[in-house]
Amino acid sequence: MTKLLVVATGNPGKLRELQAYLANSGWELTLKPEELEIAETGETFAANAGLKASQVAQATGQWAIADDSGLQVDALNGVPGVYSARYGSNDSERIARLLRELGNAVNRQAQFVCAVAIARPDGTIALESEGICRGEILHAPRGEGGFGYDPIFYVPEKQLTFAEMSRELKGSISHRGQALKALIPQLAALNI
Ligand code: IMP
């Protein structure tokens, strides 16, 4: 029997990405109902992922999965963090604001973090995982791919920004890729 997992997002791109990671997991993924608004009021990525998964599970009566992610810049004490999506009104404004606030700081270390949570139909959390990818903030954007802060996030080991990587390469090292990879064996072990 196929098991249904509702994805706590209205974004079909995020659904496709999760489907690719969880392709052989035995779960069928579906988007949350469009009219279902979900609050993101937590102060950590894990709290937000849990909140989103719980709300969607309870509203639909199904198992639900949610992720929450963002960029933490060391010299800015972890900003923009959980506010990454709300740091400006579009990607280029968000990047411009971050570069302005970081200025010519010598310490440009940063990390992307992704928390994932899976909730049971009653809203309780069954599984959680977190992935981190360390890198450095460039002085100017580089590369055309990806989204969000990708063009200014440089990974020294690969000598590329996230925006210069293929989807496969980014997925193999990214915060989201690592969080989901850690979740797959746990999901398989769930005895339902
Ligand atoms: P979420 O959809 O609430 O998890 O918001 C995540 C926000 O963090 C996005 O809107 C981006 O601004 C940023 N972000 C998260 N992951 C990435 C990534 O892989 N590349 C670039 N930006 C990201």
Asked if the model's pLDDT at residue 46 lies above 90, the reply is: yes
- Mean pLDDT score, 18-24: 87
CA of residue 105 to ligand 1 center, whole Å = 23
Verify whether ligand 1 is closer than 6 Å to residue 112 (CB atom). yes
- Mean pLDDT score, 105-112: 98
Asked if the model's pLDDT at residue 19 lies above 80, the reply is: yes
Residues 75/105, Cβ–Cβ less than 8 Å:
yes
Whole-number pLDDT of residue 44: 97
Verify whether ligand 1 is closer than 6 Å to residue 45 (CB atom). no
Verify whether ligand 1 is closer than 6 Å to residue 84 (CB atom). yes
74 a catalytic residue: no
Which atom, in ligand 1's list, is nearest to the CA of 175?
19
Asked if the model's pLDDT at residue 188 lies above 90, the reply is: no
Q: What is the pLDDT of residues 50-92, one digit of tens each?
A: 999 999 999 999 999 999 999 999 999 999 999 999 999 999 9
- Mean pLDDT score, 27-41: 92
Which atom, in ligand 1's list, is nearest to the CA of 80?
8
Asked if the model's pLDDT at residue 2 lies above 80, the reply is: no
pTM tops 0.85, yes or no: yes
Q: State whether residue 137 is helix, strand or coil.
A: strand
Whole-number pLDDT of residue 16: 87
Strands 27-31 and 153-155: unpaired
Nearest alpha carbon to residue 130 among 115, 149, 108: 115
Strands 63-73 and 3-7: parallel
Residue recorded with tokens 């309870």:
58
- Mean pLDDT score, 20-26: 86
Whole-number pLDDT of residue 1: 66
Q: What is the pLDDT of residues 123-152, one digit of tens each?
A: 999 999 999 999 999 999 999 998 999 999
Q: Which of 40, 69, 137, 153 to mutate to test the pocket of ligand 1 (most atoms within 8 A of CB)?
A: 69
Whole-number pLDDT of residue 17: 84
For atom 11 of ligand 1, the residue with the nearest CA is 148
Whole-number pLDDT of residue 47: 98
Asked if the model's pLDDT at residue 192 lies above 80, the reply is: no
**What is the C-alpha separation between 32 and 141, in angstroms, rounded?**
34
Average pLDDT of the chain is 94
